[in-house]
Amino acid sequence: MDFESIEDYKDYISTLSLDSLIDIRDHIDKEKHADRFQLITNEIERRKSGECAQKASKENDDEIIDKMPIHSQRTIRLLHIIKEAFSLAWDKKLNILLAMIFPFIFLMILGFVKPYVFMYLGLFTVIIFYPPETLVIALFMLTCHRLFIFGKESVPRFGVLIPKEREFRFFGWFIAVTLLTIIMVIPIIGPLVILEVPEMLGITIALVPVGYVLARLSLLLPATAADQRPSITWAWNQSRGNGGRLFLLLTIPAIFTILESFIMDTLESSAMLSAFFNIIMVLSVVFGLAFISLAYKELCMKENSY
């Protein structure tokens, strides 16, 4: 993230939470950005001294949520976000690749072990492997959100690998959104299967209502990654007037994922084809995270000039 002057940077860090400031301070290049490091250090000390303290404990969670600003009058700039997402993804490509190393290795190991465990435990294997698999994916998503919202100084070099309170809250929302998706899809897909509706048509029919609800709630994840404590009510109110635009942003990567699944089922499988579409799927996820992160910045952050 570039700033025209040190005053712009000072205004920017004043909008960040204490946890975000500490993360940035711990990972910033002190020699290259000595002035920024000093400003961040001063801001942290000032807040800790009580002049601008904002604590997020369980006792005042409701108060914090109430204070989260609602800017429903803002309108998402679709083309601007799409263009900026491609620019940010290219600019942060090395950070994203480094953040993918541990999840890739971890999931590869689980994928190798899972068939052997399945031989002894059967379907119970899913219950055992789902939490760690999902947690690793959630940590990667959180890393990407913070990269796109705050910049590379806000995360460790290889991404967020050790879950703490913020990460478990993000993981909880990720699970909640996943379960909500399943709950919404079943009553829609069920009758379509019984009526033998073509697969692609059935997916399209289910995508619209389910996708719209998920789009309205999509701000929950970047907000949590940005150290806020959002609620479903907050996300719904915050996205008011922009549901259609958020739906379009989520639809773009979803289309590639659906097409990838359809083509893989249609064409003869091969290692090269599988690798190609896996890359497409990962890129779709990254761009989807970039879209929502930038939408969050436009709708929810005090300063959103990026």
* Res 100: pLDDT: 92
pLDDT at 106: 92
Rounded to whole angstroms, how far apart are CA atoms 81 and 170?
Answer: 23
| Confidence (pLDDT) at 147 | 94
Q: The pTM is what?
A: 0.72
Domain borders along the chain are 1-54, 65-300
pLDDT value, residue 282: 84
Q: In terms of C-beta density within 10 A (0-12 exposed, 13-18 middle, 19 or more buried), how is residue 118 classed?
A: middle
- 185-240: pLDDT as tens digits: 888 877 777 777 776 677 677 778 888 999 999 999 999 999 999 999 999 999 98
pLDDT of 50: 62
- The stretches in the chain having pLDDT less than 50 are 51-59, 61-67, 71-72, 303-306
Burial class (CB in 10 A: 0-12, 13-18, 19+), 285: middle
At position 191, the amino acid (one-letter code) is: P
Give the model's pLDDT for residue 291: 94
The SS3 assignment for 71 reads coil
143 is written with which tokens? 């890393």
Question: Which one, of 11, 13, 33, 32, lies nearest residue 23 by Cα?
Answer: 13
